[in-house]
Amino acid sequence: MRLLTHNLLCGPKGGYPLKLKVDSLEELEAEFDGEYVKRLIGKIEWNGLLSVLNDLHMQGFFKEIQMPADPPPFDCEDEELLKMLHHVLNEIKVIDGQLECPDTHATFTVKDGIPKMIFEDGDVGNK
Amino acid sequence: GHVTMVLLFVYFVYEESMLDFRLPELQSIADFLGVPISWQGTLDSVFLLVEFGSLEGAKRVADRCMLVRGLFELWGQALDHPSLIDCLRKSPDFFDRHLTNKKFKYMIESFGRSYPRDKQMEMIEQFTEQLAHGGSVSMKDPDTILWVFEDVGRQMPPDVPPKQVYYARELHLSQSRKVAQQYTLKKRHYLGTTSMPAEYSFVMANMAQLKAHDMVVDCFCGTASILVAAGHLGAHCYGVEIDPRVLRGREEGKNVYSNFKQYNLVKPEFLRGDMARRFFWRAADTFDAILTDPPYGARAGSRKVNEKTMEKIIQDHKEGAHTDAPIIPTEGYELGDMLTDLLNFAGRMLRPGGRLVFWLPTTELYTDKELPSHPCLELLYNTEQPITIRLRRRLLTYVKTKKHEGEVATAPEYSPDMKSMEYQSDTYLSYKAKVEKKKAAVRKYKEDHGIPIVSKAERRREYKAKQQKVTQPEQECEAAPAADVQPQNL
């Protein structure tokens, strides 16, 4: 599950961002296309991205990644920022871990890179 | 300004299951590439005169269309070769421009018939001599490639003359043939029973007008065979699948990622999810396209799970053997429910202008009343593909025309009695009559020739008994019961 995908997901009642706990992570290489990354700016939820990067930082996976507090504009020309955005969204993949809904506390496992987004009524966690 | 159209002779693919898809695919790609296009009449076999905005545009269209073989400049047509030659003598300009002092080669192509090499050479000689068009033959490096086409028709007896013969100069052969060969299922590393043949996947991608960096989802992805085509076109792919076993595969190293590795394509994102409970997508308007071959459910006549198998599955599940596998649902995913789920999903998740392309299972008795609908989705194309005697399916292409407001898709009631309806269709009944006739003939033959008639059940019992004998020789030694032999009172 790439971090871009994480940003597209929510919990059973629409709650996001899903809190991420990582058991294993992979970094891959993906071709950079500036126009595509700019289009992604419109699709992602910026605070959700900052939040998941913080989750990863707190678990010791990265030293703090310098991301602006506010989303860049749609016509952003800052190549360095676009490349960094490309790296976090497309080149970081969670292999094993867990997602937790901030509202219902329902949990979803990630196994072999695939999140199990299946929720039975009565699956709500205890918190 | 006024656009001067070029009139080209288009040579299409003949594939029994894709006949009705050729012109819709052509239209969809021409629209996508911004190439004006128009034609008259119908595509009865494989040839059609089509006007394009430009030759350059036509080439781009041909390369993307899986069902186009090539583009040609038509010089003449007639009912037979001698008439064709007469017709061509009246157009010396073509020959002056493309053959005088030029290198050429000929291709003979007959739709419905094949000629051995020497017969082809004979035809070529006839044309070359009688037209006396000059130029020199070059097989490797011709300036001009001339094709003589014959339209005979499928499965015609050898004495039937062609319906029409054509003489045309090759302008461009489509690159799509190479793509089809590259992605053929015959060489695919990971396949399942529902894997979609490459041509169909690419036609779906063309109906959806996919381009590089589009975000595409297959919400019933299975082995992700449709996403392979999307990946080739540079789309970012998402696959949703409820069953972990088809994603995981049955063998080490053969799973849903294997095909993308094989073709060196970017791996899709997969998610396990249930389309009936698709809560997990945060935002609307996310996807540029949805391409899918959904489960046909109750309509396809889902078989009842065998009772013993069912018990074992439940037992295994309780014992935790397959904790990951979903229990076989006691109610199937009804076709009507699946379609409303799919259209509601599309209505929300497609960006305005994005397309939904999917297969709808149906029969010979199809009417448009079977179509599902959604106020934000407009139906653009609807083409039929035969599958078996009883079953057909339709490739439907919808476009999202306005923003989504709530779950509002509707689907008609699909008769639960569809199975019996299928068995009453004319095609099935005439097929059944043929089978019965053949069985009666076989029975009569056996009677006339004194061959014993053995029932199917009896034959199966005999076969099983033979199998047991073959596999049991060792066991017989162990299993021979130690007979409790009592001394006889003699």
A59: distance to nearest CA of chain B, Å?
23
- B130, burial (CB in 10 Å: exposed 0-12, middle 13-18, buried 19+): middle
- B342, burial (CB in 10 Å: exposed 0-12, middle 13-18, buried 19+): buried
A21 DSSP β-pair partners: A98
- CB–CB contact B282 A30 (8 Å): no
- CB–CB contact A30 B277 (8 Å): no
- Identify the structural domains of chain B with CATH numbers, from first to last: 6-178 (3.30.2130), 184-400 (3.40.50.150)
pLDDT at B417 over 70: no
A109, B71, B72 from B9: Cα distances, Å: 56, 6, 5
Distance of alpha carbon B339 from alpha carbon B333, whole angstroms: 10
Kindly report the backbone phi and psi dihedral angles of residue B151, in degrees, each rounded to the nearest multiple of 5, phi listed first. Answer: -110, 95
Distance of alpha carbon A30 from alpha carbon A35, whole angstroms: 14
- CB–CB contact B281 A8 (8 Å): yes
Cβ neighbours around A5 below 10 Å, total: 18
pLDDT at B328 over 90: no
- Return the pLDDT at B310: 55
- Return the pLDDT at B318: 55
What are the structure tokens assigned to A16, written together? 């996001």
pLDDT at B27 over 50: yes
Region of poorest pLDDT, from A42-56, B75-89, B299-313: B299-313
- Return the pLDDT at B177: 93
pLDDT at B231 over 70: yes
B132: alpha, beta or left, given left = phi > 0 and alpha = psi -120 to 50? left
What are the structure tokens assigned to B364, written together? 């010979």
- Return the pLDDT at B453: 82
A121: in domain: no
- Tally the domains of chain A: 1
If pLDDT is split at 50, 70 and 90, which confidence band does B412 have?
Answer: confident
**Across B362-379, average pLDDT:** 91
A124: in domain: no
Q: Which residue has the tokens 């699909």?
A: B414
pLDDT tens across B330-355, in order?
Answer: 346 788 889 999 999 999 999 999 99
Distance of alpha carbon B367 from alpha carbon B102, whole angstroms: 56
DSSP strands (E only) in A1-127: 19-27, 92-100, 107-111, 114-115
A81: in domain: yes
pLDDT tens across A18-72, in order?
Answer: 999 999 999 999 999 999 999 999 999 999 999 999 999 999 887 777 889 999 9
pLDDT at B261 over 60: yes
pLDDT at B422 over 60: no
A44: in domain: yes
A41: in domain: yes
- Chain A contact probe: residue of B280, B324, B350 with most A CBs at under 10 A: B280
Contact present, B155 and B112 (Cβ < 8 Å): yes
Bridging pattern class, strands B6-12 and B47-52: antiparallel
- Return the pLDDT at B10: 98
A127: in domain: no
Range of the domain at A61: 3-116
Q: Which of A16, A36, A117 sits opposite B271 (nearest CB)?
A: A117
Give the amino acid at B475. Answer: Q
- CB–CB contact A114 B270 (8 Å): yes
CA-wise closest residue to B81 among B119, B117, B25, B118: B119
- CB–CB contact B279 A8 (8 Å): no
Region of poorest pLDDT, from A68-77, B330-339, B370-379: B330-339
**Percent of all residues in chain B with a pLDDT value above 70, rounded to a whole number:** 85
If pLDDT is split at 50, 70 and 90, which confidence band does B302 have?
Answer: very low
**Across B216-232, average pLDDT:** 95
CATH code, domain with A40 = 2.20.25.10
Model ipTM over 0.85: yes
Q: Which residues contact A71 (CB under 8 A, 6 or more apart)?
A: A41, A44, A46
